[in-house]
């Protein structure tokens, strides 16, 4: 499985924070102790705070080892594991080549190591399930007019979808509003609807549709994605027009878990949703 630098960074920051607290030290005390051990390195409370808040890109192995000395971590295997984690957290993935259209790529990075992805979309087919023709229409619908940029965005989206074909790829459970299907442009409609049927053959991908007849429902607050990982806490992603948010509060995660459970219970079953898509295809 490809390592996710974003996930590694999150894990390392949380663990370094836990080590400091377990040692009963403030950030000021930790910085002073580190400075005493390695006076040749720049140490400050602000530096340790940035580390614990994931406000860093590359972390020197020597700095990790110095903090492990400060926090009393002596086991060689454990120390080696922290150094390896720091190295993996400083790596880059394929998405770096698409920074012009993906930005920092934090979501795409996390997506590569998720064990399960649960997404609710009230306006568009989820990116991992879009055909190239539909993706192109969606990108242009976001007022992107430059042909080269459109091509880059569509290419990046198709690259993302390779995660679903990996043997160790995530399970994807997508819930979409019925209105999403009506917004598919005619030229892309048949191919996109057929793709939503075909992609479920492996049972690793499942799609449920929220019918209009349901009326107001729990997902009216907007789209969101819940990412579950094998060994790390789940996270929520909220996409906005020019950026995305990852709420950190456990209460917020619990809220979106509850909303998703309500949507899952309210939507058509997977089998009924496939039947709906097949009827939609037959009517085109």
**Residue 1 confidence (pLDDT):** 47
pLDDT band at 250 (very low <50, low <70, confident <90, very high): confident
pLDDT band at 82 (very low <50, low <70, confident <90, very high): confident
Same domain, 49 and 158: no
Q: Which residues contact 257 (CB under 8 A, 6 or more apart)?
A: 226, 234
pLDDT band at 258 (very low <50, low <70, confident <90, very high): very high
Mean pLDDT of all residues belonging to the chain:
89
Structural domain ending residue among the three candidates 37, 61, 89:
89
Q: Report the share of the chain in percent with pLDDT over 70.
A: 92
Across residues 159-177, what is the average pLDDT?
A: 93
Q: Are strands 244-245 and 235-239 parallel, antiparallel or unpaired?
A: antiparallel
Same domain, 107 and 243: yes
pLDDT at 109 over 80: no
Q: Which of 51-55, 60-64, 272-276 has the highest mean pLDDT?
A: 272-276
Return the CATH number at 59: 1.10.260.40
> Domain total for the chain?
2
**Residue 203 confidence (pLDDT):** 84
**Residue 6 confidence (pLDDT):** 77
Phi-psi region at 32: left, alpha or beta (left = phi > 0; alpha = psi -120 to 50): alpha
Same domain, 276 and 148: yes
The Cα–Cα gap between 249 and 99 comes to 28
What the block records as the tokens of 281 is 């295809």
Structural domain ending residue among the three candidates 61, 89, 117:
89
Across residues 228-239, what is the average pLDDT?
A: 87
What the block records as the tokens of 118 is 């649960």
**Residue 241 confidence (pLDDT):** 54
The Cα–Cα gap between 204 and 13 comes to 32
Name the β-bridge partners of 171: 116
- Nearest residue to 13 (alpha-carbon basis) of 38, 41, 49: 49
pLDDT band at 206 (very low <50, low <70, confident <90, very high): very high
Please provide the DSSP assignment of the chain as one string. ----HHHHHHHHHHHHHHHHHHTT--HHHHHHHHHHH-TTS---HHHHHHHHTT--S---HHHHHHHHHHTT---HHHHHHHHHHHHHHT---GGGGGHHHHTT-HHHHHHTT-SEEEEEESSS--GGG--HHHHHHHHHHTT---HHHHHHHHHHHHHHGGGGGSTTPPEEEEEEEHHHHHTS-HHHHHHHHHHHHHTTTTSSEEEEEE-GGG-S-GGGG--EEEEE-SSS--EEEEE-SS-EE----HHHHHHHHHHHHHHHHHSPPHHHHHHHHHHHHHH-
**Residue 191 confidence (pLDDT):** 97
Give the structural domain span for 9: 5-89
Structural domain ending residue among the three candidates 66, 89, 112:
89
Same domain, 81 and 109: no
- Within a domain: residue 134? yes
Q: State pTM to two decimals.
A: 0.77
Same domain, 83 and 162: no
Q: Report the share of the chain in percent with pLDDT over 90.
A: 62
The Cα–Cα gap between 5 and 148 comes to 28
* Least confident range of 52-56, 127-131, 137-141, 253-257: 52-56
């Amino acid at each position: 499985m490809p390592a996710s630098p974003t996930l590694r960074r999150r894990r390392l920051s949380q663990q370094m924070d836990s080590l400091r607290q377990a040692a009963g030290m403030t950030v000021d005390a930790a910085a002073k102790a580190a400075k005493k051990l390695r006076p040749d390195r720049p140490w400050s409370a602000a530096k340790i705070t940035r580390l614990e808040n994931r406000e860093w890109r590359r972390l020197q192995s020597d700095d990790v080892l110095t903090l492990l000395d400060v926090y009393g971590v002596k086991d060689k295997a454990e120390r080696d594991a922290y150094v390896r984690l720091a190295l993996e957290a400083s790596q880059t993935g394929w998405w770096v080549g698409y920074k012009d259209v993906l930005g920092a790529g934090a979501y795409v990075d996390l997506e590569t190591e998720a064990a399960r992805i649960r997404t609710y979309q009230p306006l568009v087919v989820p990116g991992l399930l879009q055909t190239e023709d539909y993706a192109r229409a969606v990108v242009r619908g976001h007022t992107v007019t430059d042909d080269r940029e459109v091509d880059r965005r569509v290419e990046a989206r198709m690259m993302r979808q390779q995660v679903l074909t990996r043997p160790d790829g995530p399970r994807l459970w997508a819930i979409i509003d019925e209105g999403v299907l009506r917004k598919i442009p005619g030229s892309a409609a048949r191919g996109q609807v057929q793709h939503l049927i075909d992609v479920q053959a492996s049972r690793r991908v499942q799609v449920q549709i929220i019918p209009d007849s349901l009326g107001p429902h729990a997902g009216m607050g907007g789209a969101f994605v819940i990412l579950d990982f094998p060994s790390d806490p789940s996270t929520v992603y909220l996409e906005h027009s020019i950026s995305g948010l990852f709420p950190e509060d456990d209460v917020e995660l619990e809220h979106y878990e509850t909303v998703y459970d309500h949507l899952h219970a309210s939507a058509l079953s997977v089998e009924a949703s496939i039947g709906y898509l097949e009827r939609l295809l037959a009517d085109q």
